[in-house]
Each structure stands twice: as structure tokens, then as C-alpha cells.
């Protein structure tokens, strides 16, 4: 696999908070990266021919999201303080609905046992 990222260091340290799904472009295939704090410094929005979609938490910094947009990388901000995968999948479904009008309205819910300590 090519395109292994180096580590991103934020200049601002300001958390982005809740954000809408950002869709850089349509693609035939996607590579998904889960990066809770926004530390992975990607060189482009392409990973081995797949369009890169980053799933990050609300703790990610605003300047990290700016860099993702500049590099043409789509992203889903889901969860605080950690990535909430249920929320992320629903965000990804929202992104797909914007591309494919035939996708039915579906949402994902986690079983109650998921939330128990």
C-alpha cells in the first residue's frame, strides 16, 4: 500500500466541534480512514486508486479539516470525544444519498448493550 501518512501537528489547537459531512468528489471506490484526533497527514485524496474519506471526532482541529478540504479529501466528523462509528456510518450514508438518489432512507443504530459499561 502506498501513501502512508506522516503525523499532522496543529498550529491552532482549536477543536472543530460538530461539522457537516464534507464531500470532495464522487468516486467509484473509497478508502476509509478512522483518525480520532486528526493526526494523519495525507499527501492527497487518493489512496491506491481509491478516494480517501477520513472519519474523525469533534476533537479534530479546524486547521486539520482545512487541510483535508485543500487536498480533496472527504470527511465525516462523528462523535465527541471519540469517533462514534454509528454516527459515522449514518454520515457516510448521507454522503451516498447525495450521490445516488436511489439509496433508501436507512439509518444505523447500535444495540443497547453497546452503551453498557
Lookup result for grid cell 462523535: 79
Task: Say which residue, 33 or 113, is predicted with more confidence.
Answer: 33
Task: Say which residue, 74 or 96, is predicted with more confidence.
Answer: 74
Number of domains, the chain? 1
CA dist., res. 96 & res. 59, Å (int) = 24
Tens of pLDDT, residue by residue over 79-100, are 998 999 888 888 777 776 666 5
Tens of pLDDT, residue by residue over 18-71, are 888 898 988 888 899 999 999 998 999 999 999 999 999 999 999 999 999 999
Q: Is residue 114 part of a domain?
A: no
Q: Is residue 107 part of a domain?
A: no
Q: Is residue 10 part of a domain?
A: yes
Q: Is residue 110 part of a domain?
A: no
CA 28, chain centre distance (Å): 17
Q: Is residue 72 part of a domain?
A: yes
Asked if residue 116 has pLDDT above 70, the reply is no
**For residue 94, what are the domain limits?**
6-99
Q: Is residue 73 part of a domain?
A: yes
Q: Is residue 115 part of a domain?
A: no
Amino acid at each position: 500500500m502506498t501513501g502512508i501518512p506522516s503525523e499532522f501537528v496543529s498550529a491552532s489547537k482549536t477543536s472543530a466541534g460538530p461539522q457537516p459531512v464534507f464531500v470532495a468528489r464522487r468516486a467509484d471506490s473509497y478508502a476509509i480512514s478512522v483518525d480520532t484526533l486528526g493526526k494523519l497527514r495525507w499527501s492527497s485524496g487518493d489512496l491506491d486508486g481509491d478516494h480517501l474519506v477520513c472519519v474523525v471526532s469533534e476533537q479534530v482541529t479546524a486547521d486539520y479539516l482545512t487541510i483535508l478540504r485543500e487536498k480533496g479529501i472527504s470527511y465525516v466528523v462523528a462523535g465527541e470525544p471519540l469517533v462514534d462509528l454509528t454516527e459515522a456510518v449514518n454520515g457516510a450514508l448521507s454522503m451516498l444519498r447525495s450521490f445516488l438518489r436511489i439509496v433508501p432512507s436507512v439509518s444505523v443504530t447500535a444495540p443497547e448493550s453497546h452503551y453498557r459499561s
